[in-house]
Amino acid sequence: MVIRLQEDCEGVDWERVAEVLLAAGLGTGGAEVRQKAFENSDTVVFVHVDELLVGVGRALSDDVLQAAIYDVAVHPGHQGNGLGRLIVENLAGRLPECNLILFASVGKEGFYRKLGFRRLLTGMGLFRKAEAMRERGFTD
């Protein structure tokens, strides 16, 4: 198994990005939406195993104080091999001065806890699709 990390958006197969995110349970946004989100992000990483895109992640940041990590996903067929950890560590390592926040998918909180993340006690969100976020277990 040959693992390759890509830290830019050049030549990315956006249909495959959308497939990986959908398979991992992270929404239904199509290729165009995913491309715009990743290209507008400050920090991105794509994980290829034997040249197949199997994992993704991105972050928005001011590069000095705060950053938010989004869309960390590994295709279910490749989970359990440390690739999710690799994605998060890559993003965090490229934002060394920043406090990091993220939304953990329901049931994945333990994964992030192992990487040093802690539950926010005062975090708040204003969501455009508030009912969907409540139904998915992100808000009360």
Active site residue 70: no
Cα gap 26→137, rounded to integer Å? 13
Identify the active-site residue in 38, 54, 112, 125: 112
Strands (E), the chain: 3-6, 43-49, 52-61, 66-74, 99-102
Rg (the chain; Cα; Å): 15
| Residue located via tokens 């996903």 | 73
Q: Could you tell me the sign of the dihedral formed by the alpha carbons of 136, 69, 17, 46, in that order?
A: negative
- Helix then strand then coil, in percent of the chain rounded to 5, is 30, 25, 45
Residues with a known catalytic role:
112
